[in-house]
Amino acid sequence: MEETTMLKLDKVDICREENVILHRASFTLHNGEFVYVIGKVGSGKSSLLKSLYCEIPINQGDAWLLDYNLCKMRRKDIPYLRRKLGIVFQDFQLFPHLSVLENLILSPIKTQNMSRSDAEDKARKLLDTLGLANHATAYPFSLSGGQKQRVALARAMMIDPEIIGYDEPTSALDPELRKEVEKLILENRATGITQIVVTHDMQFAENIADEIIKIEPKH
């Protein structure tokens, strides 16, 4: 497979108000690679994912994601970029007024013209894999933190993204469910999906990552 640059950061700064939360970050992610971004709480690693999703601006440096210049993003281009990304945020960002199943099928139906029956079939298979087969009709308010996290992971995978980003994907899970999520991440790797995992946990990263990038908090 020909090597393609999916993400390139060069001396990137990310700020919130007057606080620099990520300072001079640089790395390159190629197609099919699996990168772990390690850092303590408050180091800015979660803000990096939000910047890739165009929720937090990049204040300095150069940043390219899937041929989009993140430093010069036009508002009209953001939805097109997001269709190529599957991001699992720590706050899950599930729609509270939709059932688990509806949360999963909404995006592929609207953005990929997938039929409802195909979307439901795909969603139910993912829910079954993640131990949520009995929660398809449940609403987010009734789910535990670990269940919401798995729903968010399934939703990210529904659109067959070019890159999947995970923000602490196993933090709210018990050991058994953690293994299931880790297994799913590894299966995604085997299919060639480019993945970036943001975490403070080195144990899993050391075993399987192509590269481990450490981010230190800016003081």
Indicate the domain borders of the chain.
34-55+74-214
Mean pLDDT for the stretch of residues 17-21: 75
pLDDT digits (tens, 9 = 90+) for 201-214: 777 677 667 788 87
Nearest residue to 51 via CA among 18, 21, 91, 19: 21
Return the CATH architecture of domain 34-55+74-214: 3-Layer(aba) Sandwich (3.40)
Q: Is the pTM of this model over 0.85?
A: no
pLDDT band at 46 (very low <50, low <70, confident <90, very high): confident
Lowest-confidence pick of 46-50, 79-83, 206-210:
206-210
pLDDT digits (tens, 9 = 90+) for 104-123: 999 999 988 999 999 999 99
Partner residues linked to 163 by β-bridges: 85, 194
DSSP for 95-164 reads -TTS-HHHHHHHHHHHHH---HHHHHHHHHHHHHHTT-GGGTT--GGGS-HHHHHHHHHHHHHHT--SEE
**Contact of 198 with 46, CB cutoff 8 Å:** yes
pLDDT band at 6 (very low <50, low <70, confident <90, very high): very high
